[in-house]
Amino acid sequence: MKNITLYFAALSVLIIISACSSNEQQGVENYGGERTVPAVEAVEARFGSLPLEERLSGVVAAANQIDMYPRISAPVLEVFVQDGDRVQQNDVLIKLDDSEYKEQLKQAEANLRITRAQQRQAEAELNEVESQMRRQLALNERDLTSELEMERVQALLESAEASYELARARVEQAQSSVDEQKQLLGRTEIRAPISGTVGQRSVEPGMLVNTGTMLFTIGDLTRSKVTINLTERMMQYINRGQSVRIFSETLGDTVITASVSRISPFLGAGSFSTTAEIDIRNENMALMPGMFVNVDVLYGESEQATVIPLSSIYRNPNTGESGVYVATGFGIESEFLENSENELANLSNPVDTEFRPINVIARGRETAGVEGINPGEWVVTVGQNLLARDARDTARIRPVGWNKIIAMQRMQPEDLLKEIMNSGVAQNSVNNL
């Protein structure tokens, strides 16, 4: 409504000035011989339904956007990429000092060789005891050995088997240590986990980095993801697959259409809200990661009713009553001023107007469905304050199309003033003063 109010104020003044200038040039007498009849803009009311929408704020991220951190602590030797570089998955981005990890690997490999030698020794001892046991069993079958000797050899066998199992476990432990050191050594080369574009580089050669040091952000800029927050109430009517419109000041007149891709079913503790994500193709790179955007989620239509622009709804500051000014005497057969040299050439001759209270059935982003107005009637969208100020019931009407009034309602305040001041209306008005 801030945009609409500013539009009222600026354009109303310009219309009055131009209307006065036109009256003087055409020799039209002031209404009642005292005051110039106010000039206002009006649009024809329609019959139809309103798109129901919820406007939310969203944050843009690149597809698969991740922040990269080292998995070890070490000084940085080389950095191979800059901000904006395109990389492929598994490309080397950073080389860390690996001297310490190479030394640790050598020690682990030496320990592995020792444990393997101990395993072979334990295996040989086990084989020898097993041979003794086989001989004792053969002697026992011929009653050539004592029970005591059998028990002694059996104890030796159990001890040799335990020593061999211990040696094998030590070898496995040493092998695991070698594998771990190889893995740590491999982490001295930091590689791209995905294909994408590098940004937010915060690492330089010589830095000592650790697992808490962010190095880069990487993401696929050709695909974007917009995240919005949904309240518990919104989840009752916003669903996956519903259409959305995305726009922002940065995008200018560009409006991106997409659909809700996914909604988290879990509400945040304390916030009672959740997140929804919108996947978007971004080949032209219009969406930048971190950008804030407005998101209109379209979730249905209202019942059929008379539809008018929101800018036509006026609240009288004197009475506090809200309603619409209707140009009751205006239609296709209305007569217009002639031979005007500016954009107000389609100003009508004076016609009757009246203020009507309305009942708003449904309210959209730019329009409202109302009761109390008939389709086809012309409702004032700019200049209501001129009619209310002096309780006027007559005005000159400038008809405007729906596309123009909707576009004006969407414009930012500074754009509105620039548009109006640069228009022919403004220039001609100033020249006629």
21-30, 153-162, 281-290: least confidently modelled range: 21-30
- Residue 219's DSSP bridge partners are 197
- For residue 426, pLDDT beyond 60: no
Q: At a CB cut-off of 8 Å and minimum separation 6, what does 337 contact?
A: 22, 26, 28, 344, 345, 347, 348, 349, 396
Mean pLDDT value across residues 34-55: 84
Confidence band for 365, pLDDT divided at 50, 70 and 90: confident
pLDDT of amino acid 332:
57
Q: 62 by DSSP, 3-state: which?
A: strand
Confidence band for 186, pLDDT divided at 50, 70 and 90: very high
Distance CA 424, CA 355 (A): 31
Q: What is the mean pLDDT of the chain?
A: 84
Question: Which H or E run contains 308?
Answer: strand 305-309
User: Domain 55-65+220-301: which CATH class?
Assistant: mainly beta
Q: At a CB cut-off of 8 Å and minimum separation 6, what does 239 contact?
A: 260, 263, 299
Give the pair of three-digit tokens for residue 391.
């309780």
Confidence band for 302, pLDDT divided at 50, 70 and 90: confident
Distance CA 94, CA 92 (A): 6
Distance CA 429, CA 341 (A): 11
DSSP 8-class letter at 164? H
- For residue 344, pLDDT beyond 90: no
Q: How many percent of the chain have pLDDT more than 90? A: 56
Q: Which of 20, 55, 30, 2 is nearest to 363 (CA)?
A: 55
Give the pair of three-digit tokens for residue 149.
């000797």
Q: How many percent of the chain have pLDDT more than 70? A: 82
Give the pair of three-digit tokens for residue 166.
């211990």
Tell me the CATH number of domain 2-50+304-432, given options 2.40.420.20, 2.60.40.10, 2.40.10.10, 3.30.70.1340: 2.40.420.20
- For residue 147, pLDDT beyond 50: yes
Mean pLDDT value across residues 354-377: 88
- For residue 24, pLDDT beyond 80: no
Distance CA 354, CA 372 (A): 12
Counting Cα atoms < 13 Å in the Cβ hemisphere of 40 gives 31
Mean pLDDT value across residues 10-28: 44
pLDDT of amino acid 419:
53
- For residue 80, pLDDT beyond 90: yes
Give the pair of three-digit tokens for residue 250.
């940065």
pLDDT of amino acid 131:
93
28-42, 123-137, 238-252, 416-430: least confidently modelled range: 416-430
Mean pLDDT value across residues 235-257: 91
247, amino acid identity: F
Give the pair of three-digit tokens for residue 426.
């403004």
Confidence band for 41, pLDDT divided at 50, 70 and 90: very high
Burial 15-34 (b: 16+ CB within 10 A, else e): bbbbbbbbbeeeebeebeee
Give domain limits for the chain.
Answer: 2-50+304-432, 55-65+220-301, 98-187
More confident residue, 244 or 393: 244
Mean pLDDT value across residues 123-137: 92
More confident residue, 254 or 165: 165
Q: At a CB cut-off of 8 Å and minimum separation 6, what does 248 contact?
A: 291, 292, 293, 294
More confident residue, 150 or 167: 167
DSSP string over 206-239:
T-EE-TT---EEEEEEEEEEEEEEEETTGGGT--
- 206-243 pLDDT, tens digit per residue, is 999 999 999 999 999 999 999 999 999 999 999 999 99
pLDDT of amino acid 28:
39
Could you count the other beta carbons within 10 Å of the beta carbon of residue 250?
Answer: 12
More confident residue, 223 or 392: 223
- Residue 306's DSSP bridge partners are 47, 370
Contact 371, 326 (CB under 8 A): no
Contact 258, 278 (CB under 8 A): yes
Contact 80, 242 (CB under 8 A): no
Contact 425, 14 (CB under 8 A): yes
Mean pLDDT value across residues 85-109: 96
Give the pair of three-digit tokens for residue 247.
């726009």
pLDDT of amino acid 421:
54
More confident residue, 78 or 269: 78
The residue ranges of DSSP E strands in 17-125, in sequence order, are 39-44, 46-48, 51-68, 74-79, 86-87, 92-96
Contact 46, 312 (CB under 8 A): no
pLDDT of amino acid 390:
66
Strands 39-44 and 394-399: parallel
- For residue 25, pLDDT beyond 50: no
- 345-355 pLDDT, tens digit per residue, is 578 888 999 99
Mean pLDDT value across residues 417-429: 47
Mean pLDDT value across residues 5-21: 47
Distance CA 423, CA 194 (A): 51
pLDDT of amino acid 265:
92
Taking the model in full, what pTM does it have?
Answer: 0.62
Give the pair of three-digit tokens for residue 424.
């022919």
